[in-house]
Structure 1
Amino acid sequence: MHSYLTAALIAAIFSPLVAEAATGNGKSTRYWDCCKPSCAWPDKASVSQPALTCDKNDNPLGPEVKSGCESGGSAYTCTNQAPWAVNDLVSYGFAATAISGGTEASWCCGCYAITFTSGKNKGKIMVVQSTNTGGDLSNNHFDIMVPGGGLGIFDGCTGQFGFQFPGARYGGVSARSECSALPAKLQPGCQWRFDWFMNADNPDLSFAQVRCPAELIARSGCRRADDASFPAFQMPADTTWRPPQSTETAGPNEQCDSITWDAQKKMIETFVARLLAMHPRHQPNGDLVFVQLESFILH
């Protein structure tokens, strides 16, 4: 399967009507903090209107309303900005972004076709619209909006829904069954992570800026003035996703992963087994753990 990034680059080079699109390699994380996203404020970029926000009842609000994550604020993330699968290969959604060499003026309400290049969902494609940014994001970083994906720095969900969301502050829920503890409107987006996204943990990606699909603009209400100058996203003719081979191995100092097992748990189990084999009569103390962990990693 040819990379969509390659197709977008070819289009950008040979079409005089297509503006230079942001492209590159980057990383992904996930979050859902319920706060008013940054691109929902006025004057962030040249757009038709700022990204939509909603009140507690999912009614759209104007751009001047203060964020629910601020004292006295009532603007929150609209629940329809959760991700959804278009087919087995492609999904749509929203993200907070930080693109190398750019600013909010260049990425607010811009859309990007991202191809995941590592992890359990390697080869899958997601088209996201940037509606937010963050001081904690690094270059070419896509923080995908996934209900139950972790609050991160801010918590607007308690104010919007009246209760503390389950899961870790960073990373969110750890099992599909925990999605049932979220508000009903957010449960499909939470389940999407364990279904279409394969519960991949912060996979790497390649990306290319594209014209925003109408489906994303319908939910955000925001279109960039230069949107038509970017290449349109072309749905692949073959939308069958082919999982990465379970025999695939990671390079030195890279995260191990496959379609069949959870890397972090497997690595811990292997380490503990080896540690106990070397010291069968002793309960490992803190110093011993660190010494043997260093030896295990380096050898």
Structure 2
Amino acid sequence: MVSLKQIALLALTTGLVSVDAQSSGETTRYWDCCKGSCGWSGKASVNQPIRSCDKQDNPLTDMAAKNGCESGGQAYMCSDQSPWAVNNTLAYGFAAVKLSGGTEDSWCCACYELTFTSGPVTGQKFVVQATNTGGDLGQNHFDLAMPGGGVGLFNACTSEWGAPPNGWGKQYGGISSRSDCDNFPAKLKAGCQWRFDWFKNADNPAVTFKKVTCPKAITDKSGCIRNGETPV
């Protein structure tokens, strides 16, 4: 009988490496400019909460700063938590997340590789870090952060960037064309255009997903690393 130890050794010597099983999930999109729910201490076992920014998009050192979505709040989503393309088939970014069988302490600042299985982005991969969650999310649901994606339940974009009262475009879904990005603040334009370029204006494509080690390019922006993990 072959032991588990022998199987593990065989995997190492032959170059075969096991991976987490893929699960099926759904996506939507949003950009509400609010401080992410993973931005407070004590939410998860991490080196520090995700970074938040002040009204001028400068990183805050006070992790307890009040959410900009609340009256008198000073903490907002930083513009560099916009998505970006690594190449034609891979992109990095951030998302509000809700996964079955877990709570925020298990997914805050964890990274997930999404593989799109429907729409014009079928086969493309998007690695996201969980920086937020939402009471209106379903199970195994990734609400992808992209400027102009719609504010959803909350809106801090008006107070931070001077967006229209209900945010840019529709409250749910956001803007409808790439040219709308021309009117965005300079720091948000590239992330807005990403939706129509790399993401091909896909409308809530289905995904399979698995947990992966966070890329350093992502954690360098958020500042948040789960304890025991070394970004790659």
* Letter of the structure 2 residue corresponding to residue 141 of structure 1: H
* Letter of the structure 2 residue corresponding to residue 195 of structure 1: D
CA contact (8 A) 1:53 1:77 kept: yes
Structure 1 stretches of 4+ moved >6 Å: none
1:60 matched residue in structure 2: 59
C-alpha distance in 2 between matches for 1:44 and 1:179: 34
Larger RCO, structures 1/2 (Cα 8 Å, 6+ apart): 2
1:284 matched residue in structure 2: none
Q: For 1:24-173, what aligned pairs fall within 5 Å after superposition?
A: 24-61=23-60, 62-164=62-164, 165-173=167-175
C-alpha distance in 1 between matches for 2:170 and 2:223: 31
C-alpha distance in 2 between matches for 1:180 and 1:106: 38
* Letter of the structure 2 residue corresponding to residue 45 of structure 1: A
Please state how far the C-alpha of 1:161 moved relative to its aligned partner: 1.2
CA contact (8 A) 1:33 1:156 kept: yes
CA contact (8 A) 1:110 1:227 kept: no
User: 3-state DSSP class of the match of 1:180?
Assistant: helix
* Letter of the structure 2 residue corresponding to residue 146 of structure 1: M
CA contact (8 A) 1:94 1:145 kept: yes
C-alpha distance in 2 between matches for 1:37 and 1:154: 12
* Letter of the structure 1 residue corresponding to residue 90 of structure 2: V
TM-score by length of 2: 0.89
The alignment covers a number of residue pairs equal to 216
Please state how far the C-alpha of 1:58 moved relative to its aligned partner: 1.3
* Letter of the structure 2 residue corresponding to residue 28 of structure 1: T
Distance 1:132 1:20, change over 3 A: farther
* Letter of the structure 2 residue corresponding to residue 148 of structure 1: G
CA contact (8 A) 1:166 1:181 kept: no
1:280 matched residue in structure 2: none
Distance 1:72 1:22, change over 3 A: farther
Please state how far the C-alpha of 1:66 moved relative to its aligned partner: 0.2
* Letter of the structure 2 residue corresponding to residue 51 of structure 1: I
Percent identity over the alignment? 57
TM-score by length of 1: 0.69
Q: For 1:222-271, what per-residue CA distance to the aligned partner results, in whole angstroms no more than 9, with x for missing partners?
A: 0001434xxx88xxxxxxxxxxxxxxxxxxxxxxxxxxxxxxxxxxxxxx
Distance 1:49 1:78, change over 3 A: same
Structure number with greater Rg is: 1
Distance 1:21 1:48, change over 3 A: farther
Q: For 1:210-233, what per-residue CA distance to the aligned partner results, in whole angstroms no more than 9, with x for missing partners?
A: 0000000000000001434xxx88
C-alpha distance in 1 between matches for 2:87 and 2:194: 12
User: 3-state DSSP class of the match of 1:178?
Assistant: helix
Q: For 1:172-197, what per-residue CA distance to the aligned partner results, in whole angstroms no more than 9, with x for missing partners?
A: 00000001121111011010000000
**What value does the CA root-mean-square deviation take over the aligned residues?**
2.0
Unaligned runs of 5+ in 2: 1-7
- Greater fraction helix: 1
